[in-house]
Amino acid sequence: MTPMADQHIRVLLVEDDRVFADLLTKQFSTRGTEIVHCGTGKEALHVLERDGAFDVMLLDISLPDIDGLEILSRIAGIPTLAKIPVIIISNFAVEKDIEWVQKMGVKQVIKKISVMPGEIVDAALRVCQEGRQGHS
């Protein structure tokens, strides 16, 4: 999948595993996508408060401070942030969490160890494309 022609895509990656984050950052960059990486939940909330103009958020559940589920809860009440499509990327999503995040409107839950980084990038770009088609 190639980036959408003439459309700037911004991705917020909330991931504490630096090696995995670097892999995804490289994958997105080679496709002309801007990626902002946050290693903690607090940092992600700060970035979202300051600049919530993202086309998609890739969110890990297991973070060193505020977990991804708490981040979802906090942004759900803020209309400009609640509209950002979210893909959960985690190895620790349990069934009750998956059910809850789906009710919260999460687009997809991806188990990191079961896919290649390029597949996560493809999923994120697909969600962006679907969102833009829905707004045209």
Residue range 88-110, pLDDT digits in tens: 998 877 788 888 888 888 999 99
List the 108-110 sheet strands across, edge first: 34-38, 10-14, 56-59, 86-89, 108-110
Which domains are delineated in the chain? 10-131 (3.40.50.2300)
The whole-angstrom separation of Cα 47 and Cα 74 is 13
**Contact predicate 128/85, CB 8 Å:** yes
CB neighbours (10 Å) of residue 82?
14
Residue range 18-60, pLDDT digits in tens: 999 999 999 999 999 999 999 999 999 999 999 889 999 999 9
pTM score, whole prediction: 0.90
CB neighbours (10 Å) of residue 33?
21
